């Protein structure tokens, strides 16, 4: 029997595997640069599709200085979003997931304000994260924090799938009998005040609970994900190449209304193949890291994880993850 800890670990694995190909929309370029992402690889420059040069963030004061020495790369072309990470290393949202998991396990419960203060501490500690790019929700949160808003009132109406990155960790760490639905809502409200992200997170939580209780994956998705996913359509799609579905019908980008159904489809298609599912997700590019929170956690909850994936996963090999 699998557990929610398997789901949490699966999300970390899927992120680390996808990381070099994150936000590649030219899939031929992804294959040229990395071959098949069936093992952990380090990212490298140039990233031919990077649009980091179009992003801006200016800290209002030291309370908002989350970029630090990475700020010099903003505005430059062909910079990989995760250029300083090593093979098997997690991106910042999943590093935060590990911190969240550790904090809840240590205290025995989830407290939104306690987590918000630790989130701030992590992000403002020099060198704690080594990602060059930070998502809009981080920038929005720390702009409001720099303006003096209460730590529980700094979230923005972010509608990206990155909001789901910490849900498997949260569920895995909560004690038996905890009100997981309230905890999920409270956690997302700190950073992602968007109803669609809240709905998707609740759906993911229900799926993981159902699958780890023994419900077959496809049955669970059909039962719990009906407002996001059509099993009838999936049945017609599954004989077609993945890049015709995600890229032709569903967007590979980060907006939750497309990204969450795309992730559910991959989990449905590869329902009994953890390895094949996370590799397919990685090779589709786009926001593959954050889709990985869904694909990796669901497939791990249904199938477990082969030991080969924990070998080389930095957070696991360094002993900074408690399962």
Over range 9-25, report the average pLDDT. Answer: 98
Q: Is residue 209 part of a domain?
A: yes
251 token code pair: 């967007």
Q: Is residue 171 part of a domain?
A: yes
Does the structure show a pLDDT above 80 at 319?
A: no
Does the structure show a pLDDT above 70 at 323?
A: no
Tell me the per-residue pLDDT of 97-127, one tens digit each, with 9 for 90 and over: 999 999 999 999 999 999 999 999 999 999 9
| pLDDT recorded at residue 1 | 82
Tell me the per-residue pLDDT of 62-83, one tens digit each, with 9 for 90 and over: 999 999 999 999 999 999 999 9
256 token code pair: 């939750």
Looking at the DSSP bridge assignments, the partners of residue 192 are 156
Q: Is residue 253 part of a domain?
A: yes
Over range 184-194, report the average pLDDT. Answer: 98
Strand segments (E) across 88-243? none
Scan for tokens 């200016």, then name that residue.
58
Q: Is residue 215 part of a domain?
A: yes
CA 243 – CA 281 distance, rounded (Å): 10
CA 51 – CA 33 distance, rounded (Å): 17
- Give the H/E segment covering residue 188: helix 180-189
Over range 4-33, report the average pLDDT. Answer: 98
Over range 76-100, report the average pLDDT. Answer: 98
| pLDDT recorded at residue 316 | 77
Does the structure show a pLDDT above 90 at 48?
A: yes
- Give the H/E segment covering residue 323: none
Over range 211-233, report the average pLDDT. Answer: 95
The CATH number for 227's domain is: 1.10.4080.10
Cβ-based neighbours of 46, under 8 Å, separated by 6 or more: 77, 78, 79, 80
Number of folded domains in the chain? 1
Query: What is the greatest pairwise CA distance in the chain?
Result: 53
CA 215 – CA 193 distance, rounded (Å): 31
Does the structure show a pLDDT above 80 at 321?
A: no
Tell me the per-residue pLDDT of 146-181, one tens digit each, with 9 for 90 and over: 999 999 999 999 999 999 999 999 999 999 999 999
Q: Is residue 269 part of a domain?
A: yes
pLDDT band for 10, please (50, 70, 90 cuts): very high
Concatenated DSSP letters of 233-280: HHHHHTTS-HHHHBTTTB--SSBHHHHHHHHHHHHHHTTT-HHHHHHH
| pLDDT recorded at residue 322 | 55
| pLDDT recorded at residue 223 | 95
Q: Is residue 323 part of a domain?
A: no
| pLDDT recorded at residue 275 | 98
Q: Is residue 322 part of a domain?
A: no
- pLDDT above 90 covers a percentage of the chain that reads 96
The answer to whether the CB of 109 falls within 8 A of the CB of 175 is: yes
| pLDDT recorded at residue 320 | 58
- Average pLDDT of the chain, as a whole number: 96
Over range 193-199, report the average pLDDT. Answer: 97
* Residue 87 domain boundaries: 4-317
DSSP helix/strand/coil, 156: strand
Does the structure show a pLDDT above 90 at 132?
A: yes
Q: Is residue 277 part of a domain?
A: yes
């Amino acid at each position: 029997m699998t557990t929610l800890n398997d789901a949490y670990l699966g999300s970390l694995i899927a992120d680390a595997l996808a990381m070099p190909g994150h936000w590649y929309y030219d899939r031929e370029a992804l294959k040229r640069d990395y071959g098949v992402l069936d093992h952990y690889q380090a990212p490298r420059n140039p990233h031919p599709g990077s649009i980091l040069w179009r992003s801006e963030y200016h800290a209002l004061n030291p309370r908002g200085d989350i970029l630090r020495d990475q700020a010099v790369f903003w505005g430059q072309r062909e910079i990989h979003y995760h250029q300083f990470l090593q093979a098997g290393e997690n991106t910042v949202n999943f590093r935060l997931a590990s911190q969240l998991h550790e904090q809840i396990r240590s205290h025995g419960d989830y407290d939104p304000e306690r987590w918000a203060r630790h989130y701030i501490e992590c992000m403002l500690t020099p060198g704690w994260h080594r990602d060059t790019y930070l998502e809009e929700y981080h920038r929005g949160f720390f702009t409001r924090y720099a303006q003096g808003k209460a730590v529980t009132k700094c979230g923005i109406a972010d509608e990206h799938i990155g909001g789901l990155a910490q849900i498997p960790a949260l569920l895995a760490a909560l004690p038996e009998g905890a009100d997981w639905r309230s905890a999920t809502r409270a956690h997302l409200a700190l950073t992602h005040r968007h109803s669609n992200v809240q709905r998707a997170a609740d759906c993911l939580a229900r799926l993981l609970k159902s699958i780890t209780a023994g419900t077959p994956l496809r049955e669970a998705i059909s039962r719990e994900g009906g407002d996001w996913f059509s099993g009838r359509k999936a049945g017609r799609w599954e004989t077609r190449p993945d890049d015709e579905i995600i890229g032709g019908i569903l967007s590979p980008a980060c907006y939750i209304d497309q990204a969450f159904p795309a992730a559910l489809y991959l989990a449905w298609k590869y329902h009994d193949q953890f390895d094949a599912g996370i590799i397919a997700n990685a090779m589709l590019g786009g926001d593959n890291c954050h889709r990985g929170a869904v694909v990796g956690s669901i497939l791990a909850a249904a199938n477990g994880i082969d030991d080969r994936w924990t070998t080389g996963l930095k957070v696991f090999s360094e002993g900074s993850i408690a399962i």
